[in-house]
Amino acid sequence: MVVVIEQQENEDRNANPSNAAGNDASDGFETASDTDLGSETGGDDVGASSHDQQLEQQQHQQQPPKPEHSEPEPEQSVSPSNSFSRDPLINEELEKKALVQANEAKAEGNKLFVDGKYEEALSQYELALQVAPDMPSSVEILSICHANRAVCFQKLGKYDNTVKECTKALDLNPVYIKALVRRGEAHEKLEHFEEAIADMKKILEIDPSNDQARKAIRRLEPLAAEKREMMKEEMIAKLKDMGNSVLGRFGMSVDNFKAVKDPNTGSYSISFQR
């Protein structure tokens, strides 16, 4: 299976709840996308330097001229961990800078992913998750970074972690189809066939035209039935072992008991045989 970095258009459709239902079924197994949440135009990612210049110009225009002999004000840190100022304009600028930093870390993670450096990509996506400000506009980048971490874990064969990261992405964006696809695929690798089927059915609820999910359900249902039968046989074998351990004290075994079905009522009766 080939996994590629998504372009902007695909990511917008898959990470944005309002567009999730229109996803193309053929791109369900792709990964790491590259939306620029820090850009008002929604175009390519922008570097922090040009954005910083814009913010400085805005702040210079908004602030009144200072007295000639006034004391210099301390520089305001842009770290999201610091307490925000009471000035809403400064808070907005800090949030924008934090969002730019998060997008830069995500973009670096995407580059590392393409180079096959999955552990390093995981660290960059985690950094983006940590610096993203706590605000509604961060939901999209947070869900994308969790989904991209899921694919990194998938590449590393750590399917339990893939399931956990996809679940976090879906907690933020319940109609994130690609996160559902990735989680379903990880469940299949773990032989959690019932859970994989549930994810595929959820995709069909969001996008009834998704043939990929429909085909996956047809393929997974026999596997789920086979596993159920195997689990039932294992349970019966364990019960027999338990029964023999008790009956053995009396010189008997479960083989001395036979269940006979009544054809009229469908009920069973137990008969003892020596």
Residue among 100, 187, 110, 174 at smallest CA distance from 145:
110
Report the range of poorest mean pLDDT among 40-44, 148-152, 154-158, 222-226: 40-44
pLDDT at 174 over 60: yes
Q: Name which of 166, 214, 173, 131 is nearest 19 in CA terms.
A: 173
The reported pLDDT for the residue numbered 255 is 66
The phi and psi torsions of 258 (rounded to 5 degrees) equal -130, 135
What's the CA gap between 123 and 176, in Å, rounded?
22
pLDDT computed for residue 274 by the predictor: 65
Residue 188, pLDDT above cutoff 90: yes
CB-facing half-sphere around the CA of 51: CA atoms within 13 A: 22
Q: Is 261 helix (H, G, I), strand (E, B) or coil?
A: strand
Superfamily grouping for domain 8-50+77-228 = Tetratricopeptide repeat domain (1.25.40.10)
> What's the confidence (pLDDT) of residue 227?
86
Residue 91 has pLDDT above 90, yes or no: no
Ranges of CATH 1.25.40.10 domains, the chain: 8-50+77-228
Check: CB of residue 201 under 8 Å from CB of residue 166: no
pLDDT in tens, 27-63: 333 333 333 323 332 323 323 333 344 434 444 444 4
User: DSSP letter at 5?
Assistant: B
* Full-model pTM: 0.59
Report residue 217 as tokens: 């359900």
